Homo-oligomer: A and B are copies of this chain.
Amino acid sequence: MVSSKDVARAAGVSQATVSRVLNNPESVRPVKRNKVLEAIQQLNYEPNLIARSLVTNNTRTIAFISGSMRNNFFIDTMDSIINLAKDRGYRTMIFFDGNESLKDIWSTVKGHMVDGVILSLVSMDDPVLEDIMNSGIPHMFLSRRPRFGGNYIEIDNRLAGELIASHVVELGHRRIALLSGELQYSTFLGRKEGIDKVMAEAGLPLEAGLVHYINTATLSEIEKVVWKMMQFNEPPTAIICTSDAMAIACMDVLLGMGLSIPGDVSISGIDDSKLAAHQSFQLTTVGHKIFEIGEIAVENLLEMIGHKEIDKKRQIVLRPELMIRRTTARHVE
């Protein structure tokens, strides 16, 4: 691999001068500068960003710890994060949970000396959160956040739950099922609280057999669970899913069983991912423009990286809206 030393030799200057041509071209006289530029062309030289990072102590890279691409929420946020970061001159490294713990991912992220991190996949009480918040590495939690503290952006999950539950209740449904994510995640806890509140007020507390907690990383239980529920003497007439991804998986199962949506059963999600709006789904859901969530996360992160208002607490809660589409309908006996 050709290095700046090779360029220096070819151009008859010192390595320092080559470095200057790269980082501060005006500081070197045109004659030499051109010689260097020629040599760079000639040798097809590309600066070693690794070595550069070592000395500058910044990588112009941010990390995004994301959930699986099987979930369109993460696709949408990832897309907006990568694109905005790129516009701002930053590269994004993507990390998935897989089966490693957050602790292991965090080790790797720290090792990569990224300038900042966006985390989308933390449970509320993970012991490593303390480390993360004290690490001095700028961070934004996106959607899922610690129980206490941290910089985060999320939608008002409680409200989201209330909006969707009210909608379903108002449509006259009484046997309502809930497919929830695991409650160690702030997102799903908040959503469920909102739903519980509305259901209680409506005098329709959720029945045990109709509430299921799904592993949102794999969604693997959904098929079995939905299939089973629909075999009941009185199957649910509506299934509230606390994410679009679950709703879409759920629809796949129901349609596969030959049921019609919303004829036989109403389905709803939460997130308002891009896919939910597709004419083939027209999923009723609640959310806030997803791309905006990702962008706000990046904007704030870059502010912190740039030391702007460094100690301002960044805890942003967006107000979600109900998107009534075509997977929910009035219940008729």
* Chain A positions near chain B (C-beta within 8 angstroms): 44, 46-51, 53-54, 59, 68-70, 75, 78-79, 82-83, 86, 91-94, 96, 98, 107-108, 110-113, 131, 248, 251-252, 254-256, 278-281
Query: Could you jot down 5 A-B contacts, CB within 8 Å?
Result: A68-B79, A82-B96, A92-B94, A248-B278, A280-B280
Asked if A69 and B59 make an inter-chain contact with CB atoms under 8 angstroms apart, the answer reads no
- Kindly list chain B residues whose C-beta atoms are within 8 Å of the C-beta of A92: 94
Cα–Cα distance between A256 and B277 once the two chains are bound (Å):
11
Cα–Cα distance between A32 and B105 once the two chains are bound (Å):
28
Contact of A112 among B49, B83, B108 (CB under 8 A): B49
Contact of A251 among B59, B82, B251, B280 (CB under 8 A): B280
Cα–Cα distance between A68 and B51 once the two chains are bound (Å):
30
- Kindly list chain B residues whose C-beta atoms are within 8 Å of the C-beta of A49: 108, 111-113
Cα–Cα distance between A44 and B44 once the two chains are bound (Å):
41
- Kindly list chain B residues whose C-beta atoms are within 8 Å of the C-beta of A107: 46
Known: A75-B69, A82-B96. A50 touches B54 (CB 8 A): yes
Cα–Cα distance between A260 and B78 once the two chains are bound (Å):
33
Cα–Cα distance between A32 and B49 once the two chains are bound (Å):
35
- Kindly list chain B residues whose C-beta atoms are within 8 Å of the C-beta of A98: 83, 86
Cα–Cα distance between A69 and B251 once the two chains are bound (Å):
23
- Kindly list chain B residues whose C-beta atoms are within 8 Å of the C-beta of A53: 50
- Kindly list chain B residues whose C-beta atoms are within 8 Å of the C-beta of A54: 48, 50-51, 54
Closest-by-CB residue of B relative to A49 is B111
Besides A49-B108, A50-B59, 20 new A-B residue pairs in contact (Cβ under 8 A), listed by A number: A48-B54, A50-B112, A50-B113, A54-B54, A69-B78, A69-B79, A82-B94, A83-B98, A86-B96, A86-B98, A91-B93, A91-B108, A93-B93, A248-B278, A251-B279, A251-B280, A252-B279, A252-B280, A255-B280, A256-B279
Asked if B69 and A111 make an inter-chain contact with CB atoms under 8 angstroms apart, the answer reads no
